Chain A
């Protein structure tokens, strides 16, 4: 065995160790990523329940359904170890969640607007009725004033 051969042997051992470490560490990393994605999916799924509760007016049912389907898709991809795609879907789901929150706010604001409009109409109607009653009362007063002369 020559010195060069021993050195090459050591290099090959190191390479082998490196591959072995890489394989061991890579497997551990994949397992950590999978868990992390699962947590994200679970977290978002639990958010869906919150969103459903917030959607009192049932204005964003379709979007929530879509979010659910995406989360299911992410779950499926996770099972297939398509982690990049899982992240893509989860990123989209996160934006969808944000969208749903905004849409819920819009629906609530719209309901509030409608309520205000109804309220305004009611008070305008009440004003019209009061104005009419006032006119009738004024007419009656004039008639009575004439009668009193």
Chain B
């Protein structure tokens, strides 16, 4: 009984093993993988190669059926053939795709090359323009540089000329100032500054010498300053010396005039001249003796020449104040004599006025018988004392 059961189980197992699906052949696995991998493009591949795909499908189905029915050799064979068909179909599809792609790329390349040709042409044109412009700009720059260089040269020359001019101007100015200082010194010389303002004059001389030395050394600023100072010192010296000099000059002139007066007065015919100083006051006395007869206040005839001479002398020396002093001899009352003497002085005054003498400078007085010219004891002496004295007053 047991043995019969064992045999039955073994038989069932053998039947099950015989009916079970065998392992999928490698070739069929590869075919399925190939299909799965190219699943997306299979519809397009089928359009391109319907016969190949149909054959591949038929072989694939057969392979699967044969595998299911455990006919593995045939399954492998069909699977391999299906692979070959499918791969061939895919290859043909790929060829078409690649050809299309290559064609597209060729078109794009042609377009790109055309674009390049255009760009290259534009670039060449632009580069040519740039080259021309660059040449122009370079030429212009060179011209500008030349111009600037010339300008700089001119400017340098102008500056040099200006510097030279400035130098000459400074030299000229210094020379002018030195000349002005020299002139100031000369001017100071005219008022005897060496005598009346020695210190200032000496300083001016020293400064002028310094200015001239500076000028020789081309130190125009130093020359300028020293010349200015020299001029100022010379001017100061002149200003200081001038009043002193003028005073001295006036004094000299007065002295000369007085001396001239003293020389001229005696040249009048019929007069006696004497110098009669009274303290600081100098008196030139012109005596006209016997001009009057006794007690007579009028001028005796024959004295016109004398009066003309006196009038001319007065006119020649118009700055002197002049006294007309009448005198008598000593015979008579004093008051009467003084009146007569005054009348006599007045008579001379009138005669001189008639001859054009300015009367404002004339002072009339009568002293009677005082200060006799000669002794009154003789008639001749008395006649000589009846006189008028014309007195020039000066210092």
Contacts and interface: CB of A to CB of B under 8 A. Distances in A.
Interface stretch (A22-30, A43-51, A130-138): A130-138
A91 B77 CA distance: 11
B126 A141 contact: yes
Contacts, number: 93
B163 interface: no
A31 interface: no
Contacts of B81: 91-92, 95
Contacts of A106: 91, 94-95, 98
Contact of B77 (A92, A127, A145): A92
- Point out which of A103, A119, A137, A147 has the most chain B C-beta atoms below 10 A from its C-beta: A137
Q: Interface majority SS on B: helix, strand, loop or mixed?
A: helix
Interface string B72-95: 000001001100110110011011
Interface of A: 88, 91-92, 95-96, 98-99, 102-103, 105-106, 109-110, 112-113, 116-117, 119-120, 123-124, 126-127, 130-131, 133-134, 137-138, 140-141, 144-145, 147-148
B141 to A, nearest CB: 8
Given A110-B98, A113-B102, 10 more contacts: A92-B80, A92-B84, A102-B91, A102-B95, A103-B87, A113-B105, A116-B109, A123-B109, A123-B116, A130-B123
Given A98-B88, A102-B91, A109-B98, A120 B105 contact: yes
Contact of A148 (B94, B116, B127, B133): B133
- Point out which of A95, A117, A131 has the most chain B C-beta atoms below 10 A from its C-beta: A95
Closest 6 CB pairs of A and B: A109-B98, A102-B91, A144-B133, A116-B105, A137-B126, A130-B119
Nearest to B80: A92
A117 B109 CA distance: 9
Contacts of A119: 109
Nearest to B84: A95
Contact of A113 (B101, B129, B133, B140): B101
Interface residues of B, number: 36
A140 B95 contact: no
Q: Interface majority SS on A: helix, strand, loop or mixed?
A: helix
5 contacts: A106-B98, A127-B119, A130-B123, A137-B130, A148-B137
B85 A95 contact: yes
Contact of A127 (B91, B106, B115, B133): B115
A52 B101 CA distance: 27
B108 interface: yes
Given A102-B91, A113-B101, A116-B109, A130 B126 contact: no
